[in-house]
């Protein structure tokens, strides 16, 4: 389905990004993952991707830093070739109620979760434009649509990703590049495993389908959006959240 395509997945060493990287590789793509700092997780994911007999490598990148992003994409291009699929998945949380939210916490989350999407998109846009093809898939969040107390920074960034997705989709549509966002609900990952039991129960009661999602639920949709089957879909935000937002 994606044979010999080159994919970059940011935040690809763990959680949703890891599942995305594996699913793209299973569909035939070579996959470069960007990770922030967890070497062992990145190496483990690369080893796992290689089991699919596809090419894989991990690059340590702070996606909020343009110099690091540009350098990493150059390295990807020289060892993998031109990027066909970009999945902007890297994200962090620094939760706090607005009144207690520090400026640094605001900046860190906006820089990684929103500016990072801009920088990585900018890095691949020109080469995709020239080749008249490409797929950009941004991971937003259901909270970017409905809001969430204690996550003003994260919500603002994730809502920003939806706006950025629509604008990028419009700018690049004439060159056959599609740009879409996915808004996951509560997915079981390291990021959500730290939540306490009471909050988890509260979350479950807000999910019509009654269970948390799995990283694979997101990965399957990424695989579809990256494929030719999704050629006529662009600028959309697709919810994978068990029905939280309707």
Task: Please report, as ranges, the residues that interact with another protein according to CB under 8 A.
Answer: 126, 129-130, 171-172, 174-175
Whether residue 14 is annotated as binding a ligand: the answer is yes
Report how far apart, in Å, the C-alpha atoms of 104 and of each of 50, 110, 173 are.
38, 10, 36
Our CB check for another protein shows the closer of 100 and 126 to be 126
Of 35, 154, 186, 232, which is the active-site residue?
154
Q: Round to whole Å and give the CA distance between 93 and 156.
A: 12
**Annotation-wise, does 35 bind a ligand?**
no
- Give me 158's structure tokens: 């994730």
Collapse the DSSP code of 212 into the 3-class scheme (helix H, G, I; strand E, B; otherwise coil) and give the result.
Answer: coil
**Residue 163: how many CA atoms within 13 Å on its side-chain side?**
9
Tell the smallest beta-carbon distance from residue 130 to another protein (Å): 7
Judged by beta carbon, residue 177 or residue 244, the one nearer another protein is: 177
Minimal distance, residue 124 CB to another protein, in Å: 14
- Under a CB-based contact definition with an 8 Å cutoff, are residues 82 and 131 in contact? yes
- For another protein, the closer of residues 153 and 168 by Cβ is 168
Q: In this structure, are residues 30 and 3 in contact, taking their beta carbons and an 8 Å threshold? A: no
Task: Give the nearer residue to another protein in terms of CB position, either 19 or 86.
Answer: 86
* Shortest CB 148 distance to another protein, Å: 36
Q: CB of 231: closest distance to another protein in angstroms? A: 20
- Residue 28 or 235: the one with the smaller Cβ distance to another protein is 235
Residue 157 assigned ligand-binding role: yes
* Residue among 246, 49, 214, 32 nearest 120 (CA): 32
**11 in a known ligand binding site:** yes
CA nearest to 137, candidates 204, 216, 195, 222: 222
Is 154 labeled as catalytic in the residue annotation?
A: yes
The answer to whether 38 is a known ligand-binding residue is no
Closest CA to 88 of 128, 115, 67: 115
- For residue 213, report the phi and psi dihedrals to the nearest 5 degrees: -85, 170
Q: Is 156 annotated as a binding residue?
A: yes
Shortest gap between Cβ of 83 and another protein (angstroms)?
Answer: 17
Residue 97 near residue 90 (C-beta atoms within 8 A):
no
Which segments are annotated as binding site for NADP(+)?
Answer: 11-14, 89, 154-158, 187
Residues recognised as catalytic? 154
């Amino acid at each position: 389905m994606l044979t010999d395509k080159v994919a970059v997945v940011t935040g690809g060493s763990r959680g949703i990004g890891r599942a995305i990287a594996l699913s793209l590789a299973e569909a035939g793509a070579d996959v470069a993952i960007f990770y922030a700092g967890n070497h062992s997780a990145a190496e483990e994911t690369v080893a796992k991707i290689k089991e699919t007999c596809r090419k894989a490598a991990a690059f340590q990148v702070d996606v909020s830093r343009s110099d690091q992003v540009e350098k990493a994409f150059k390295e990807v291009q020289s060892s993998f070739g031109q990027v066909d699929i970009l999945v902007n998945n890297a994200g962090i949380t620094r939760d706090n109620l607005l009144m207690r939210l520090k400026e640094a916490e605001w900046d860190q989350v906006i820089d990684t979760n929103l500016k990072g999407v801009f920088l990585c998109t900018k890095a691949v846009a020109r080469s995709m434009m020239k080749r008249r093809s490409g797929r950009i898939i941004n991971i937003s969040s259901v909270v970017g649509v409905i809001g969430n107390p204690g996550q003003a920074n994260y919500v603002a960034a994730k809502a920003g990703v939806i706006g950025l997705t629509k604008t990028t989709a419009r700018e690049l549509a004439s060159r056959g590049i599609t740009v879409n966002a996915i808004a996951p609900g509560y997915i079981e990952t390291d990021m959500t495993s730290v939540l306490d039991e009471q909050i988890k129960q509260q979350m479950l009661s807000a999910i019509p389908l009654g269970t948390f999602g799995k990283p694979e639920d997101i990965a399957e949709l990424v695989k579809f959006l990256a494929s030719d089957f999704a050629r006529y879909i662009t600028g959309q935000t697709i919810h994978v959240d068990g029905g939280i937002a309707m």
